[in-house]
Amino acid sequence: MKILVAVKRVIDYNVKVRIKSDHTNVDLTNTKMSMNPFCEIAVEEAIRLKEKGVASEIVVATIGSKACQETLRTALALGADRAIQVEAEDALDSLSVAKLLAKLATDENADLVIMGKQAIDSDNNQTGQMLAALLDYPQATFASEVVVEGGEAVVTREVDGGLQTLAIQLPAVITTDLRLNEPRFAKLPDIMKAKRKPLDVKTPEELGVEIKSNLEIVSVTPPPERSGGVKVTSVSELVEKLKNEAKVIS
């Protein structure tokens, strides 16, 4: 079974975001970038399926500028077999990314696509679902447990009231939630080996996908500032303030 894993290069999750002074977007110059945390979990899950003998090959793909090759090398060092970079702008919208991934999934004949449930920059939570729709595959989003057996995947999903379990027929798309697994770290020899693993570069034109977007960013601003309040010295002072000053309890 072949697994396609989609990964995204995003601002590192520990970095405090700066907004450009002209409010056109966030400022990413000289900012630490890393693999999106949900994508790391997707890579880890694919590797575990390979270690269990369920998967035979893991192809990792990303859509973005040349700098994204670094993210692909990280995935290769963790255990992916091959990588594909689709050379494009870094912040394409989810639908364009889904169309490019749909073409890759078809060309590669992947049995399963695993990807993060959302990127921590755009916070969209869309691409996996869109990909599944374009391919007319079933989807299991926000997965916290995946068992692949006999041509189907039994997936436990994190939903608002608790958990839900679905069985989806392969080929399918699964998006990962944080609790699915704990990603491993790449070891130095694996990082060296990853440099020699194959990495193809493709363009949207080669894939026959037209990139267009009808969404325009009008402005990006900082959220309303919340200033720290006061420290109280005792529980009774706290209760008094909540009753008489903030008036949120009676």
109 sits in the region (left: phi over 0; alpha: psi -120 to 50; else beta) called: left
- Measured from the CB atom, is 81 or 93 closer to other proteins? 93
- Residue 37's contacts (CB-CB under 8 Å, 6 or more residues apart) are 13, 116, 120, 178
CB 163, min distance to other proteins, A: 4
CB 18, min distance to other proteins, A: 9
- Measured from the CB atom, is 23 or 52 closer to other proteins? 23
Given 139, 146, 181, 194, the residue binding other proteins (CB under 8 A): 139
Site for other proteins in 53-112 (CB under 8 A): 93-95, 98
CB 114, min distance to other proteins, A: 16
- Measured from the CB atom, is 200 or 245 closer to other proteins? 245
Stretch that binds other proteins, among 63-71, 73-81, 169-177, 202-210 (CB under 8 A): 169-177
Stretch that binds other proteins, among 8-16, 46-54, 62-70, 72-80 (CB under 8 A): 8-16
- Measured from the CB atom, is 201 or 232 closer to other proteins? 232
The DSSP string of 58-126 is EEEEEEE-GGGHHHHHHHHHHT-SEEEEEE--TT--HHHHHHHHHHHHHHHT-SEEEEES--TTT----
The helix or strand, by DSSP H or E, that contains position 51, with its residue range, turns out to be helix 37-51
